[in-house]
Structure 1
Amino acid sequence: MKTGNDCAGMMSEELVRTALYEAHKRWGGNIVDFHGFELPIWYSSMMEEHLNTRENAGLFDVSHMGFFRFSGDGVREWLQSIATQSVEHLQPGRCAYTHFLDADGVIIDDMIFAVTDRQTIIETGCIDWQHPSDIVILGVPNASMITVMKDWFNSHLPKDGVVTFEDLSDETSILALQGPKSPEIIEAVLGVENAIKHFTGKAISENEFGITGWIQATGYTGERGFEIFVNNNQAETLWEALLSGGEPFGISPVGLGARDTLRMEKGFLLSGQDFHWPGLGEDEDSAVESSFLARDSFETNVPFGLDLDHDFIGKFRVKTSIESRDQRWWGIKYLGRGPFPRTGSKVLDSRGNEIGIITSGGPSPSLGKVGIGLGYITGVEPGDEVLIAPNPRKQIPAVVVRPPFI
């Protein structure tokens, strides 16, 4: 849910709250302005929440993300023509990751999507459904890209009306339960039928809390986990049920600070930081020039969102990048002590020549706070040693790695 503030004493009249705002305050969340949303950056500490998610389970409010629905008799063929991922053989109940490129082959946004069917959508109970289409596709755009992607999809819809696009973001809350004990928590709270396999999705089965909606076994931490989509009026009930029912399993609420360190350890891209669409203009707040972040799918080095056996918008640039094999997105891990790598830190070769720039970096909680980073680097392979310049006076030795770090 995305609703503007209209009460006195709030942080800003322009900030946006989710349906879980009051729950975050009750649970001690440290609320900050997170890209225009009032969201918790941490509850106890980023370190504790990070490690507990890796060891047990963490619960996140990610309702600032979007929720799209695509339907119609030609929806599968349409998505196949615009996404870097192949949709053709995905059966209902399966999820996948994709990029969407512009006409120049540059990533606009990345997205997890799920293929389902008409009957399943009706069973969710949380989404009105009157379309006769059998195949339905659900997608989750990044928070800052909801409007951009909405406009882009609308501009690429077939002219004959065989595909319908709907933005369900404002009416939908999204909770992410992540960590190795998350299946046990789902079983305890929502029932064993909802503890589904990795990268599958389904309508939430009947449960004692009366929760209806959509659940998919996906996430942004690299751990076993689930993302749950419900109507805003069920969000607090689900939040409290998961935290209460998950207590024996060591669950904790987690802020968006740990969400970033968790995704970084697994080498997951962050829209707007690790890639940036030129159509948004220059990001004045970024330590890296936006033009440097205009990338195609091959340059990001993320293989699971790219299928070259079908045609899609911008494919020509991806093929060019494969042939040139120039700059690609790699991980680096410190071999020495010093200031942590940060966005904008330069990557140098042994002679001090600049060969890349870090786009995401910081301490790795899971590795004892060793410095790790992700960035676009030229002419390296895993195992190569480089130097990281977190500031003009320091050069820290590091080794190139292929993510994940753990």
Structure 2
Amino acid sequence: MSAAPSVIPPPHPVSVVGIGADGWSGLSGGAREALRGAEVLIGGARQLELLPPECAGVRVAWPSPLRPAVPRLLAEHRERRIAVLASGDPMFYGIGRALAEELGPEGLYVLPHPSSTSYACARLGWPLEDTEVVTLVGRPAARLVASLHEGRRLLVLSADATTPATVAALLTSHGFGPSRMRVLEQLGSEAEAYADGIAESWAHAPGDRLNVIAVECWATADALRLGAVPGLPDEAYEHDGQLTKRHIRAATLGALAPAPGELLWDVGGGSGSIAIEWMRAHGSCRAVSVERDPARAERITRNAERLGVPGLRVVTGRAPAALTELPTPDAVFIGGGLTAAGLLDACWEALRPGGRLVANTVTLESEALLGERYRLYGGELTRLAVAHAVPVGGFTGWRQAMPVTQWSVRKSSAPVSASVPVPGDRT
């Protein structure tokens, strides 16, 4: 269901016209008609310069930052026929999304143009449906890391002319130096240009700011393998020992069951591994990691950037007090501090109906608390035990890690029973 419009729709639908690097000559008859008939033309300065004098409407360039200006400009000109210019397809990482959020889809008349990704795949001979698109426009380059997998084809939407060099350095630093890179500039125009090379030896000077980077991902033989499912190698994380280990982490993420667009609270973040792998599950997954120790909170931020989810929000503070202003979670993981007074109750109360809560512990005191809640609310109470093979003299034997007790439960929409008193000690 679409969000309620925040701006009163104008008397006429706003025309949203996609335009390419080929300018006016590449537009359809309908798109030209919409631009000729507009009384107000809104777009980037470069896009407005592509229009001929016959488009006589008042030309308004987007200010920076753009998003906060959208409702103001729509309201200011709502009594006039408005046409908004967008690069390529307005609904693909374009202004069309912001306009639809303000006016609703019925307030728009969208006339798309082929996107830069469509042009790129046409030039490369790549099936678009098998090609992952990552935008770095207004976003940190580190988010590309989550998409790096051997043999994968990526199209990277550049922020400017310096982005290709940034991408080459990032690929090399993460073990993907052998990847092939092709930079495609001014796609769809007579000025199309291409640069080809290998990431680790990329030496091309910055070219045109309108470019798309095609990457064929190839890793070095010793590159750390980061798979697409939970349970990344422990050595992928910087930590001080406060790390949910790989096999327990995989089981925990399985119980949390991340889904696109959902929000996780990771309470007692440690090294941030649960929140990070929650966000790696899908590009739209969101997470807040709450950690009371400032040094660990900084470490979580570094781990998130290195592993491709720089959007992870880190809150430094002691739970449950640090939870009060956070948005409603779809799932909560408690990895530490279970016996802190009021913590489990606060997490349970904040969780939406149908949401999931997972708590892990290795102490008897916290295990007793989880047993109480299991009897009250049901769910699953599980003992997880992992052993690793280690040298024993000239032989090999098993070394048992501390067993982890895990409670996982889905919150019913039925009223919750009165909370149970818990021990006041802290872990």
- Tell me whether the two structures share a fold, i.e. TM-score over 0.5: no
TM-score of the pair, normalised by structure 1: 0.24
Question: Relative contact order (alpha carbons < 8 A, sep ≥ 6): 1 or 2 greater?
Answer: 1
Higher strand share: 1
TM-score of the pair, normalised by structure 2: 0.23
